[in-house]
């Protein structure tokens, strides 16, 4: 019986250990991770003039800056005898810059008109139209052989006295184009992960069973030791 008790204790102990080992479970799950990506997108660009207004002297010199504004890609401003800009009707003018995009090799047409003077430059240095004098409104056109890509225009204009007007036009296909730009966006990518999770109920039960098995086993061994040792010898009485 004592041997059976030890064997039973060992069996219970092993069951407890097995339960403890099974309490830890590996779980697989999917986690979404945010990732920053740069995405291209198409943007329609249109020519816009950035205009700096200045006073202009009878001696033909630019004076101080009086303000700034913008013009659309083509325009026809006819102020007649009214105010031109910032309260100025006479002796005022501007220097305006714009970008165009040529998508072909070949001729491109430009046209300006003014009352009084105006000049049009291409790529900062090439004067392609010159109306720089005091006169009533009239126009002038030119055709320039151009290469593909971006180009800059510089238009200068001044009003002396009397009526004031300025106009600009060009081939429409060089005034609007498509460009690729980039923006940062957040997207989520799926990542497979694993984790070890303890089953609390099984963990508690396994601990209890292990403790019981250990107790039974130790108790069985202790009882066996006492039996093998036997009872101590009793002293014998001496005859009188």
Tens digits of per-residue pLDDT, 114-153?
999 999 999 988 999 999 999 999 999 999 999 999 999 9
Which pLDDT band, with edges at 50, 70 and 90, does 240 fall under?
A: very low
d(C-alpha 65, C-alpha 55), whole Å = 7
Residue 98 shares a structural domain with residue 12: no
54 and 32 in one domain?
Answer: no
13 and 88 inside one domain: no
In angstroms, rounded to a whole number, what is the distance separating the alpha carbons of residues 131 and 120? 9
Taking residues 69-79, report their average pLDDT. Answer: 98
Per-residue pLDDT for 25 more than 80?
A: no
- Do residues 104 and 160 share a domain? yes
The verdict on residue 228 lying in a domain is: no
**31 and 63 belong to one structural domain:** no
28-52 pLDDT tens trace: 878 888 999 999 999 999 999 999 9
Residue 234 clears pLDDT 50, i.e. is over it: yes
Q: Where in the sequence is the domain holding 31, given as residue range(s)? A: 2-36+194-223
Are residues 132 and 59 both part of a single domain? Answer: yes
Could you tell me if 21 and 133 lie in one domain? Answer: no
Lowest-pLDDT range, 58-62, 110-114, 190-194?
190-194
Same domain assignment for residues 146 and 54: yes
Confidence of residue 18 (pLDDT cuts 50, 70, 90): low
Looking at mean pLDDT, say which of 69-78, 194-203, 228-237 comes out highest.
Answer: 69-78
CATH for 164: 2.60.120.260
> What is the model's pLDDT at position 59?
95
Please report whether residue 215 resides in a domain: yes
Is 186 among the domain residues? no
pTM above 0.75, yes or no: no
pLDDT above 80 for 92: yes
One domain for residues 62 and 86: yes
* 61, 28: one domain: no
pLDDT band at 26; cut points 50, 70, 90: confident
The structural domain count of the chain equals 2
Q: Is residue 233 part of a domain?
A: no
Q: Is residue 150 part of a domain?
A: yes
Residue-wise pLDDT tens digits, 209-218: 667 766 666 6
Q: 58 and 166: one domain?
A: yes
Contact 18, 210 (CB under 8 A): no
Q: Write down the pLDDT at residue 78.
A: 98
**Six-digit token pair at 16?**
């407890």
Shared domain check, 155 and 94: yes
């Amino acid at each position: 019986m004592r041997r059976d008790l030890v064997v039973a204790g060992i069996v219970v102990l092993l069951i407890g250990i097995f339960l403890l080992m099974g309490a830890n479970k590996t779980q697989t799950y999917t986690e979404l991770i945010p990732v920053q990506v740069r995405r291209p997108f198409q943007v329609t660009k249109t020519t816009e003039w950035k205009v700096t207004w200045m006073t202009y002297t009878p001696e033909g010199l630019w004076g101080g800056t009086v303000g700034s504004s913008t013009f659309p890609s083509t325009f026809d401003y006819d102020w007649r005898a009214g105010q031109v800009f910032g309260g100025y009707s006479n002796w005022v003018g501007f220097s305006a810059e714009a970008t165009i995009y040529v998508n072909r090799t070949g001729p491109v047409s430009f046209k300006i008109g003014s009352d009084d003077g105006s000049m049009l430059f291409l790529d900062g240095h090439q004067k392609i139209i010159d109306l720089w004098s005091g006169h009533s409104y009239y126009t002038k056109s030119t055709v320039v052989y151009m290469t593909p890509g971006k180009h800059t225009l510089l238009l200068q204009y001044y009003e002396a006295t009397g009526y004031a007007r300025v106009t600009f036009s060009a081939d429409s296909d060089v005034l609007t184009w498509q460009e690729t730009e980039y923006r940062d966006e957040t997207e989520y990518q799926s990542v497979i992960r694993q984790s070890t999770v303890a089953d609390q109920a099984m963990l508690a039960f396994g601990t209890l069973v292990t403790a019981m098995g250990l107790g039974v086993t130790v108790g069985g061994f202790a009882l066996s030791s006492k039996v093998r040792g036997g009872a101590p010898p009793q002293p014998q009485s001496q005859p009188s």
